[in-house]
């Protein structure tokens, strides 16, 4: 292994939250298996199965209809072990793939600049990277890629799709994406993507703005320097922006959180139902400042650790739309064969022990903030929503038009649910979260007050939408101005 690769390894061997710039996965069909015999120890069982696997690999290499490399079969076996977990965040990397992965996390690459995840019917974009060709072209969080240069990619996993999106800078690629049921085409020119961690500026006499693009291994120091410069310029309240921040290192998110919050838990790490570690703030924040944290559906993993810590500790008010909901931490470790495994090792919870995975954070103040080319489409969708006029107050298990209409509206507000007309668990959770954010009794029943509040929230915001307006940022400034 080269010294360059060794340096990259040293930076990544820690518990991390994957930034989703993943590459390379083998499509392996597991065909060899057996149940554990009664009385056999795990070690004995494993030894027997490894012997069987060795024979199977040898037999396949000798008898397969086409020539096959032994190395390919061995790599497939390693990959198959990880794929058997059925975990989208765990992955086996070959030596070549590992080098590329580490460069993506710690250095730079050439492509369009998007974070991806596997999704039914194609890969979905978690968020475009700030300043990337994808962001400049208008790609949004939640867009589903269905074609690349005319090729159907709805059956491809992230690793294979990434290979199609990468390429030499200056060379364009044509994407067809699905956005809320509408197919759109983008021609995007690839470029060298360089990681940017923290930007900051002074908005007015008292408010400082800090944007964290992702949590690199030095983000907490960059954040501290930015905060100090803004303080020196007279800022005494802050807007921290983690919209479309796909995550990064737990240690960096904790390091940022501890600079503004009181002593206490930042996050709890949970493994097999037990808390194995609590990451805590030391209380270094001797002076408390009014803070607003901006979040949206592209805020994931480490960004959600920061948001959960500040929300539960009352350090900041969260403004925007519900976050992504990736509450799983990974560790990356090397193997003797030169490969790597990125393994999901634990879940993380907020200080008050609220789960984040597949749930996300609910902002204290819900604000829609569409891109310019989405405003007309959103208003058109809203006008076509089912009315909520039935004289019923649906609860868990009920079905009806009120439920259908509420689901449409809550989905538009960013809540993670499906529009089915049935009050399933996801819908009940979304209603509770909305009720809490609206100052209503949060009990998960779709009562008349809740339906009226949902409609009022959306209608009120749609009336104020204007091209190029950042309504979430405006709300943050308003909240800090009146406090």
Integer Cα distance of 53 and 452 in angstroms: 62
Instruction: Judge contact between 53 and 103, C-beta under 8 A.
Output: no
Instruction: Judge contact between 433 and 415, C-beta under 8 A.
Output: yes
**Three-class secondary structure of residue 174 per DSSP:** strand
Options 252, 312, 323, 432, the catalytic residue: 312
SS3 content of the chain, % helix, strand, coil (to 5): 35, 25, 40
Cα–Cα–Cα angle for 134, 156, 177, rounded to 5 degrees: 35
| 326 is annotated as an active-site residue | yes
Q: Where does residue 449 fall: left (phi above 0), alpha (psi -120 to 50 degrees), or beta otherwise?
A: alpha
Return the closest-CA partner of residue 212 out of 144, 231, 225, 113: 225
Cα–Cα–Cα angle for 301, 304, 305, rounded to 5 degrees: 90
Integer Cα distance of 219 and 217 in angstroms: 6
| 282 is annotated as an active-site residue | no
Options 132, 301, 313, 344, the catalytic residue: 301
Integer Cα distance of 168 and 108 in angstroms: 13
Integer Cα distance of 282 and 279 in angstroms: 10
* Residue 125 CA to its chain's centroid (Å): 9
Options 157, 326, 342, 432, the catalytic residue: 326
> Element (H or E) spanning 240, and its range?
strand 237-241
Integer Cα distance of 356 and 328 in angstroms: 8
Integer Cα distance of 332 and 340 in angstroms: 7
What residues are annotated to the active site?
301, 312, 326
């Amino acid at each position: 292994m080269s010294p360059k690769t060794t340096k990259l390894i040293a930076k990544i061997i820690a518990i991390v939250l994957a930034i989703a710039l993943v590459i390379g996965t083998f499509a392996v069909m597991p065909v060899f298996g057996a149940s554990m015999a009664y009385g056999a120890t795990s070690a004995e069982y494993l030894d027997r199965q490894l012997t069987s696997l060795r024979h199977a690999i040898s037999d396949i290499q000798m008898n397969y209809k086409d020539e096959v490399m032994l190395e390919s079969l061995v790599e497939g076996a390693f990959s198959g072990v990880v794929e058997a977990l059925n975990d989208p965040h765990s992955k086996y990397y070959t030596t070549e793939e590992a080098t590329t992965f580490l460069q993506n996390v710690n250095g730079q690459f050439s492509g369009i600049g998007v974070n991806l995840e596997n999704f039914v019917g194609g890969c979905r974009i978690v968020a475009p990277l700030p300043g990337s060709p994808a962001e400049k072209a208008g790609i949004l969080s939640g867009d589903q890629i269905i074609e690349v240069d005319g090729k159907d990619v709805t059956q491809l996993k992230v690793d294979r799709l990434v290979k199609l999106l990468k390429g030499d800078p200056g060379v364009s690629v044509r994407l067809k994406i699905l956005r809320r049921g509408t197919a759109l085409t983008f021609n995007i020119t690839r470029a060298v993507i360089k990681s940017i961690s923290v930007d900051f500026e002074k908005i007015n006499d008292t408010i400082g703005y800090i944007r964290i693009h992702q949590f690199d291994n030095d983000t907490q120091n960059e954040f501290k320097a930015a905060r100090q410069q803004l303080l020196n310029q007279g800022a005494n309240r802050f807007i921290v922006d983690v919209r479309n921040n796909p995550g990064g290192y737990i240690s960096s998110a904790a390091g940022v959180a501890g600079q503004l919050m009181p002593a206490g838990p930042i996050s709890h790490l949970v493994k097999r139902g037990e808390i194995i570690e609590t990451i805590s703030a030391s209380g270094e924040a001797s002076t408390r400042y009014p803070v607003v944290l901006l979040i949206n559906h592209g805020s994931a993993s480490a960004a959600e650790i920061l948001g959960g810590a500040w929300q539960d500790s009352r350090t900041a008010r969260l403004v925007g739309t519900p976050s992504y909901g990736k509450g799983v931490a990974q560790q990356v470790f090397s193997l003797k064969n030169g490969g790597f495994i990125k393994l999901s090792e634990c879940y993380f919870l907020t200080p008050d022990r609220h789960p984040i995975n597949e749930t996300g954070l609910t902002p204290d103040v819900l604000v829609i903030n569409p891109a310019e080319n989405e405003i007309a489409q959103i208003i058109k969708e809203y006008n076509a929503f089912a009315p909520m006029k039935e004289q019923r107050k649906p609860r868990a298990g009920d079905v009806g038009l009120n439920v259908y209409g509420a689901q449409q509206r809550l989905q538009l507000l960013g809540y993670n649910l499906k529009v089915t007309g049935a009050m399933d668990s996801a819908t009940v959770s979304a209603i509770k979260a909305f009720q809490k954010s609206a100052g209503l009794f949060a009990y998960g029943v779709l009562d008349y007050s809740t339906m009226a509040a949902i409609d009022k929230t959306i209608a009120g915001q749609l009336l104020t939408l204007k091209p190029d307006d950042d309504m979430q940022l405006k709300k943050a400034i308003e909240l800090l101005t009146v406090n």
